Amino acid sequence: MEIARMTENVVAQPVSLFEMAQKQFDQAAAYLDLSPGMRAFLREPMRELTVTFPVKMDDGSTRVFKGFRVQYNDARGPTKGGLRFHPHENIDMVRALAAWMTWKTAVVDIPLGGAKGGVVCDVKELSQRELERVSRAYVRQVGRLLGLDVDVPAPDMYTNAQIMAWMMDEYAVIKGHTEFGVITGKPVELGGSLGREDATARGGMYVIREAAKMLGMDTAGAKMAVQGFGNVGKYAATLGEELLGCKVIAVADIGGGIYNPKGFDTRELFNYAMRHGLVSGYPEGERISNAELIEMDVDILVPAALENVITAENAPRVRARLVAELANGPCTLEAEAIMQDNGIYVIPDILCNAGGVVVSYFEMVQNAYDYYWDVLEVHERLDKKISAAFATMHARAPEFNNDTRLAAQALAIERVANAVRLRGWCD
């Protein structure tokens, strides 16, 4: 089972991700006519659970793991959000990601709320059997919060379709019957959707295409750099070439980056990374650092790794014309202000990387009807949904000084606030 590798932060930042998410909320909410009670309610998660659970290891010892599940807001529907297995996972990070998922589902207008979860562990140190035990034990602890009409997890960092299959099966053991729709990102053989594996990156490419049209940029031959070469980054590179005609001249992962001014054969590079784990040894490129990639002279920069890779320190040296946030929170608020002043168009993460949750929603719909679409139908529906969301955001941007993040956040907050009002929770 391949576990996607992710890049680390280019610059270590002592930034609280949840504080960052709340500051983003505050900036957008300041433009909206929200009551003090509504603003206070939407700044905080509705429910969160921290659990500890023992797992028997292969050597006979018992190890205790910590896990989290945060359901940020369910006014618009059941909460939805990924599960991360990472040694540095913490409740602050999970809160932030659950908040962003809430705004993400709202900005693309699907009838779901936002959630996130995770387990503090290093999957590289676990055997397959240990990984399965951790996955099942986590579900036994948080299963009381899950359900098709309550909260539906999905894969995220260092989790995948196999882990989702174990979790779905454990939930079936608890309930006494199978509910395929309780978890998405499953193998196709167990009710998963075609088109889910590359959905996050594919949705991002559709949004880049729409932004390029608006900017008058021809993507054919446009220079692209991808920072992060995990599951999302690998597909971003290949689809950037295949769907948009971009010339991918630089990629990077945890081991560093490579550069080729002539552009890479992205499929060959994808296969190399799958075989070797890292791109740094690829023979057809010159070695560069992650920091050098961020500041490279390209048309399109795709941060597809972790948070806070573009900061106030390096933002003045970003030379891309368009920055597409396929990672969650890759740019600090200070960095975004600098890039906006420099005329760089930023596609915010809550829209740019929403393709994964859109296709996860499609998976829920297919599970409910027990009728499954072919991959072309999935792609067409994703394209229609996410392109419409971009058009709505772009139309609203002039109301917010053409700040795309403010426009996207405000649109999402408005939709959630309206649902809260209609339910009678807050005025």
**Listed residue (367, 360, 358) closest to 190, CA to CA:** 367
What letter represents residue 325's amino acid? Answer: E
pLDDT value, residue 304: 95
What are the structural domains, with CATH classification, of the chain?
44-190 (3.40.50.10860), 199-352 (3.40.50.720)
CB 120, CB 66: distance < 8 Å: yes
3-state helix, strand, coil in the chain (%, to 5): 50, 20, 35
Taking residue 62's Cβ as centre, other Cβ atoms within 10 Å add up to 8
The share of the chain scoring above pLDDT 90, in percent, equals 90
What letter represents residue 271's amino acid? Answer: N
pLDDT in tens, 378-388: 999 999 999 99
Query: Rounded to an integer, what is the distance from CA 159 to the centroid of its chain?
Result: 13
pLDDT in tens, 231-275: 899 999 999 999 999 999 999 998 899 999 999 999 999 999 989
pLDDT value, residue 307: 85
Does residue 5 carry a pLDDT above 70? no
- C-alpha 192/C-alpha 364 separation (Å) is 9
Question: Which of 23, 80, 104, 116 is labelled catalytic?
Answer: 116
The CA R_g of the chain, rounded to the nearest whole Å, is: 20
Q: Return all residues near 4 (Cβ < 8 A) that are at least 6 apart.
A: 157, 158, 160, 230, 231, 234
Read off the pTM: 0.92
pLDDT mean over 95-99: 96
pLDDT value, residue 366: 97
- C-alpha 36/C-alpha 40 separation (Å) is 6
User: Is 234 marked active-site?
Assistant: no
pLDDT value, residue 172: 96
CB 387, CB 211: distance < 8 Å: no
pLDDT value, residue 280: 83
- C-alpha 3/C-alpha 230 separation (Å) is 9
**Listed residue (21, 64, 40) closest to 426, CA to CA:** 40
β-bridge mates for residue 153, sequence order: 81
**Listed residue (14, 68, 15, 13) closest to 45, CA to CA:** 68
Taking residue 17's Cβ as centre, other Cβ atoms within 10 Å add up to 21
pLDDT in tens, 316-336: 999 999 999 999 999 998 999
Q: Report the mean per-residue pLDDT for the chain.
A: 93
What letter represents residue 328's amino acid? Answer: N
CB 49, CB 43: distance < 8 Å: no
pLDDT value, residue 276: 86
Sheet holding 47-56, edge to edge: 47-56, 62-73, 113-120, 79-86, 151-155
Tokens in use for 325? 């946030």
pLDDT value, residue 15: 62
β-bridge mates for residue 224, sequence order: 248, 300
DSSP character for 189? G
- C-alpha 184/C-alpha 180 separation (Å) is 8
pLDDT mean over 329-344: 93
CB 216, CB 396: distance < 8 Å: no
Tokens in use for 169? 């099966």
Higher-scoring residue by pLDDT: 205, 276 = 205
CB 203, CB 271: distance < 8 Å: no
Q: 155-189 b/e with 16+ CB inside 10 Å = b?
A: bbbbbbbbbbbbbbbbbeeeeeeebbbbbbbbeee
Confidence of residue 44 (pLDDT cuts 50, 70, 90): very high
